[in-house]
Amino acid sequence: MTAEDVTQPERPPLPAHLRRRRRLLAWSAPVVLAFLVTGSLLLGTVLGAALGTRDFDALRFPEAARQYQAQQRWTGFAEQWKAWFNSGTAQYRAEEHFLAVEDLRVALDLVPEAGPLPDGPEGSKAPESPECRVRTNLSLAIEAMGDVAATDDEDPGMAEVYYAEAQEVIAPCTSSAENEETSERQEDKEQQAREDQQDPQEEPSEQPSGEPSDEPSDEPSDQPSDGPSDQPTDEPSDEPGEQDPTDEPSDDPRREELEDRNREAERDRQEQQERGGGGFGGGQNW
C-alpha cells in the first residue's frame, strides 16, 4: 500500500464564531493600517514642528526653515498652510526674502479665508485670524524686498512696485494699530522711492560751488553732519585771509553755531593727533 492510497482525514469545519472572527479581522485590517499610517504622520508632524520651533526660538532660522519645509509634503490632510507659513516666516527672519515670499504666497493660497470684521470697514478682516497672520508676514517680506531694491541702482523702480504690493497685501488687515502703522510706513517708503526715481540726480555732488583748493585733504571726515555744502571754506581762525564778503557771521545765529562746531571739531582733531596721531580711522569694530 502506497502513501497515495492512504486518504487524508478531512478537517472538521471551523466553528461559526471562529469564521466570524476571521471575517472581522479581514475587514478591519485596512482600517487599522490607515490608522497606523495616520498616527505616524501626525507624530512626525508634531516632532518636526517641535524641532523647528526649537531652532526658531534659538535664532537658528535657516535650520528652522528646513525643519518646516520637511513637513510641507506630509501635512496635506490637516492645516497644510501652517508648514508653509512657518517656513516662510523662518526664511524671512533669515533674510532670505525671495524664498520667504514664495512660501508665504503658498500659505496665503492654502489658509482658510477669514470672514468680514464685524462693525469694521468694508473689506476688512480680523487681524488675529490665520489669514491676516499670513498676510502680515507676507507684506513684511515683500517690504524687505523693496528695501533691497531701493539700494539697487540698476532698477530703482522695483522698490516702488514692491512697496505698493506690500500695502495691497496687508490692506484687509489694517484694523489693528500695528498693521496700520506698517501700512503707513510702506506708503512713506513707496512715496520716497517714487521721488528718488523722478529725481535721480537731485544731489550730484556735495560741493558744486565750493572752493576745493582751500581744504584739499586736511579734514576728510571731521565734520560729517555740520553742513559741508553750506560752509565749504569756513575756517576763520586757521585761514584769516580768506573771508567771504557775503558772509554775515555776526547776524546769523545758525552760522555762528556752525562756526563753533567747526572750531570744536578742529580742536578735537588736533588733540587726537597729539595723543597718538592717526586722525579719524574707518576700521572701527562694531
What are 188-208's pLDDT values in tens digits? 998 888 887 776 554 444 444
- Which residues fall within 8 angstroms of residue 259, CB to CB, at 6 or more apart? 231, 234, 236, 249
| Residue 111 reports pLDDT greater than 50 | yes
pLDDT band at 177 (very low <50, low <70, confident <90, very high): confident
pLDDT band at 260 (very low <50, low <70, confident <90, very high): low
CA angle 215, 222, 233 (to 5 degrees): 30
CA distance linking residue 251 with residue 260, whole number of Å: 15
Instruction: Say if CB 173 and CB 132 are below 8 A apart.
Output: yes
pLDDT of residue 258: 57
Q: Between 219 and 273, whose confidence is greater?
A: 273
* Single pTM value for the model: 0.58
Average confidence score pLDDT of the chain: 74
C-alpha cell at 276: 597718538
C-alpha cell at 237: 581762525
pLDDT of residue 49: 81
Q: Between 13 and 83, whose confidence is greater?
A: 83
| Residue 224 reports pLDDT greater than 90 | no
pLDDT of residue 277: 42
**Highest mean pLDDT pick, 37-41, 131-135, 208-212, 237-241:** 131-135
CA distance linking residue 205 with residue 197, whole number of Å: 18
pLDDT band at 32 (very low <50, low <70, confident <90, very high): confident
Q: Between 191 and 249, whose confidence is greater?
A: 191
| Residue 285 reports pLDDT greater than 50 | no
pLDDT of residue 154: 67
Section 35-60 average pLDDT: 81
pLDDT band at 68 (very low <50, low <70, confident <90, very high): very high
Q: Where are the domains of the chain?
A: 34-94, 112-198
pLDDT of residue 94: 96
pLDDT of residue 173: 93
CA distance linking residue 30 with residue 43, whole number of Å: 20
| Residue 246 reports pLDDT greater than 80 | no
pLDDT of residue 39: 73
What residues are paired with 125 via a beta bridge? 116
CA distance linking residue 189 with residue 164, whole number of Å: 9
pLDDT band at 93 (very low <50, low <70, confident <90, very high): very high
First to last CA, the chain: 104
What are 15-28's pLDDT values in tens digits? 777 777 777 877 88
